[in-house]
Amino acid sequence: MKEKTLGFIKPDAVKRNIVGEILAVLESERLDIIELKMMRFERREAEAFYIEHASQPFFEDLIAFMISGKIVAFVIEGENAIVRYKELMGATDPREALEGTLRKLFALSEDENSVHGSDSISAANREIAQIFR
């Protein structure tokens, strides 16, 4: 089934100038980049985007990280794009990520893990609408 999903290249990866390398991996996996923009979250936007994590102890650190610099937001499309992109990202902690995944290749730590992706169709639809109004 052809799907769309949202992804981010997070501030740690943008600062290290590896945006092109990450996008090249997506394209090599035949995930079509159909929307793309560089942006910077305002605090209230980041809090709204990550609202489901508001009660978590890591929420403030997550928000501080996501507003610390520019991100690259994108929408990708392809067969089973949500699952395929989640697998391509790898585990949140790069020490646990499989070889060849984006987080194994590019993440600095569990917190600075370089990429974000929607985890379901409903999340993808909500997140795409928030970022690409």
Choosing from 84, 116, 118, 127, which is the catalytic residue?
116
Q: Is 53 annotated as catalytic?
A: no
Tokens 């067969």: give the residue: 79
Amino acid (1-letter code) at residue 52 = E
H-type alpha helices, 1-133: 11-15, 19-28, 43-49, 59-66, 81-89, 102-106, 121-131
- Sort 115 into a burial class: Cβ within 10 Å, 0-12 / 13-18 / 19+: buried
Cα separation, 100 vs 87, in Å, equals 10
Question: So which residues are the catalytic ones?
Answer: 116
